Structure 1
Amino acid sequence: MKVLQFTIPVAHDKSVITDQVELPYHYPHLHRHTEAQLTWIQRGEGTLIAGNNMHAFTEGDIFYIGPNLPHLFKSNPEYFKSEEHRPVKALTVFFNPGGALSAVFALSEMRAISQYLEQHALGFKLPARNTTAIAAQMLAVREATGSKKLLTFLELMQGLISIGNKPEALSTHGKLPSMADNEGIRIGNIYNFIMQNYNGVITLDDVARAACMTSESFCRYFKKHTGHTFVSFLNEVRVNEACKRLTSHKFENVSEIAFKCGFKSITNFNRVFKSVTGNSPREYLDNYLNNINTLSQTA
C-alpha cells in the first residue's frame, strides 16, 4: 500500500540511523519508508496500526517494523489535549537491508539474520522477556560512533534473532493494492476519524461522508485498500481500546468498559471481543495477569 512515502529526516551518509524523539505525541500520519525500524517506546501509550492490523502499545514495548510496511503510532486521545503535558519518548533504529547495508547482509555470515528479517517482514512485537536486553543494545547503537556503530548494530541484529521465530506478525496482509499518495492520506484520515469517534454512535454513512464518498463507494474502496470492512475495522478499534482498559489497573468492570468503548450490550461486546482476540474478556485478563506474574517471578 503506497501511503505517505516518508524519508528519514537525518543525514544519509550513515548506514545505521538512530532517532531519539521526545514530543507531545507520535508522528500522526500513516506512512512507510524503505528502511526497517526497531522502535522502543520509552514513554507513552496508544495504538500501533501496522498494515491492516492494530496493536496497543505502552511504555517499554519494542516493535520491529519491516521495510515499506505502512504504519502509524497513534497516541491516546489525552496526548492531544493542550492542558495535559504528557510527552512521548521513543528511540528508533533505522536500517535498510537493501540499501547501504546490502553488501553486509549479503555476506554468508549474515545469512541467518537476513533470513530472519525476510521471514518477519510484516513486523512483530518483541516478547517482554527480551525487551531489557534489546533496549540496552539499542542504546549502545545510539551512543556508538564510527565503525563501532556498525559493530554494535550487528550485535543488536544477533540479539534480535535470538528471540526465535515465535513472534506473531503485526500485519496479516503482506501486499495490498498500491495507491497514490493522496489516497494514502485519505485512508489515514479515515483511520483517524474512526479512532476519534469509536466510543459513540458511528455509522457507515458518517464515515463515508467524512471521506467525501457515497456509502457504496466507500465500502468497496476501504475493503480494497485495507483488507477490512468498515465494521471489522471499527470492531478492532473498539476491542483494542477495551484491551487497554482491561489491563490499565483502573478497576473498571467489564460492562462499564464495554459501554465506554461503544458497545451497546454486554452480549455483543463478549461476542465481538472473542471473535477479534480468540478469548473472552475474562480469559484475556487472566492470561495478561498470568504473564505478569510469570515475568515477576523470573525477574
Structure 2
Amino acid sequence: MTKVISFQIPKSKREFVRYQEDRGRHFYDKLHQHPQLQLTVILEGKGQFLSGDYVGRFQAGDVFFLGENAPHVFRSDLEYFGGEEGFKSAGNTIFFDFDALGKALGELEELQTLRRFKNFSGLCFQVFGDSKNSILELFKAFSKSSKLIQFQLAIQLLSILEESGQDLVSLNRPLVLRGLSERDGKRIDQVIQFLLENRFRQIKLDEVAAEAHLSKEAFCRFFKLRTRTTFTRYVLQLRINEAQKLLKETDLGISEIAYTVGFENLSYFNRAFKGIVGNSPRAFRK
C-alpha cells in the first residue's frame, strides 16, 4: 500500500497561498495530512469524506475547510474506480501556509484575527449558507488571477470563514493527538482501507487488529486514541453512510438496503440509522 500520510503540498517556501485543480476519475484515496490549511470546493463526483471520528458524504457543490494537520480523505464511491465511462471527479482547492507569513502573523495588528485559525488544528468543517455562496464566487476568479490578486482573494476567503458563524459547521471532534506520526498514519490508513473494503460483512476484532499488527487490546486503544471513536462505532457509521447513498440513489426497499450494507436485523438498522442521522430511513428518503 502506498505510504502517504505526511503530505507536503508542492510550493515555494515563501508562498502563502497555493491553488490546485484536481481532475480525474476519482480523488486521491489515501488518508493523509499536511501542515497547510485547506479550503476545497467539490465540482463533480461524490463519495465519502472521512476525518477523525467523522464519516460523511461529499457531492458537487460542497465546500469543506480543514485545519492544519487534519487527517482526511475524499474517497470517491466504488463506481469511480471502475472502467465504466461517465464517472468524473473534479475539485478546486486553496492551501494556506501560515508559516510563510513568518513573524508577521504574530506582530502585525492587521493579521491578528488570522491567529484564530491556529486553533483549528486537526479539525474539519463544512461551509453552508451565504458564506458558501461567497466562497464559490471568489473561487471563480482565482485561477485567472495574478499572484497578488490571489493573495488578496485568499485574505478575503479567510475573512469570510472568520465571520461565517453558524455557516461553518464542525464535523469532527478534536483529536487527542494533534496530527499523526508517519508510522501511526500508515497503520490507521491500512485499517481504514480494510474497513472500507469489508464493511458490509461481519468484521471480527482480531481480524482488524491483525491488519494493524497489534493485539486486540492494543488495537482498541490505538484506534480510539486516533479517531475519537470505537472500532464498532466507526464500522456502523460506514454502513449507515452507504445506506444513505442507497436510499437517495436507488429504489431498493429499506429492508433490502439494511441487508446490503451488513445488517441482519431491520429493527436494529432503523435504530442505528436514526441514532446517527437523526431521523428514520423512511423519513430520510422523502
TM-score bucket (shorter structure): 0.7 to 0.9
The residue number in structure 1 matching 2:137 is 136
The residue number in structure 1 matching 2:171 is 170
Distance 2:180 2:67 in 1: 19
The residue number in structure 2 matching 1:280 is 280
After superposition, what is the alpha-carbon deviation per residue over 1:85-115, rounded to whole angstroms, capped at 9, x for unaligned?
A: 5231110000023433762575434444543
Stretch of structure 1 that moved more, 53-62 or 134-143: 134-143
Distance 1:150 1:177 in 2: 28
Distance 1:169 1:193 in 2: 27
The residue number in structure 2 matching 1:206 is 207
Distance 1:105 1:19 in 2: 27
The residue number in structure 2 matching 1:265 is 265
The answer to whether structure 1 residue 147 and structure 2 residue 161 are counterparts is no
Distance 2:284 2:118 in 1: 31
After superposition, what is the alpha-carbon deviation per residue over 1:156-175, rounded to whole angstroms, capped at 9, x for unaligned?
A: 22333343245331211243
Is this contact kept in 2: 1:43–1:90, CA < 8 A? yes
Opposite residue 251 of structure 1, the aligned amino acid is D
Distance 1:91 1:230 in 2: 32
Structural RMSD (CA): 2.5
TM, length-normalised to structure 1: 0.84
Deviation at 1:285, TM superposition (A): 4.1
Stretch of structure 1 that moved more, 82-91 or 229-238: 82-91
Is this contact kept in 2: 1:4–1:184, CA < 8 A? yes
Alignment of 1:10-49 (within 5 A): 10-49=11-50
TM, length-normalised to structure 2: 0.87
Opposite residue 29 of structure 1, the aligned amino acid is K
The residue number in structure 2 matching 1:291 is none
Distance 1:252 1:11 in 2: 51
Cα distance change on mapping 1:102 and 1:157 into 2, 3 Å: farther
Distance 2:91 2:47 in 1: 13
| Structure 1 segments unaligned to the other structure (5+ residues) | 287-299
Distance 2:82 2:64 in 1: 26
Stretch of structure 1 that moved more, 203-212 or 89-98: 203-212
Opposite residue 230 of structure 2, the aligned amino acid is T
Is this contact kept in 1: 2:64–2:124, CA < 8 A? yes
Structure 1 residue matching 2:38: 3-state secondary structure: strand
Deviation at 1:281, TM superposition (A): 2.4
Opposite residue 142 of structure 2, the aligned amino acid is V
Stretch of structure 1 that moved more, 161-170 or 32-41: 161-170
The residue number in structure 1 matching 2:252 is 252
Is this contact kept in 2: 1:15–1:101, CA < 8 A? no
Is this contact kept in 2: 1:176–1:226, CA < 8 A? no
Opposite residue 271 of structure 1, the aligned amino acid is R
Structure 2 residue matching 1:92: 3-state secondary structure: strand
After superposition, what is the alpha-carbon deviation per residue over 1:110-130, rounded to whole angstroms, capped at 9, x for unaligned?
A: 444543x35655221111554
| Structure 2 segments unaligned to the other structure (5+ residues) | none
Distance 2:101 2:60 in 1: 31
Cα distance change on mapping 1:197 and 1:129 into 2, 3 Å: farther
Structure 1 residue matching 2:165: 3-state secondary structure: coil
Cα distance change on mapping 1:164 and 1:97 into 2, 3 Å: same
Cα distance change on mapping 1:72 and 1:105 into 2, 3 Å: farther
Deviation at 1:63, TM superposition (A): 0.1
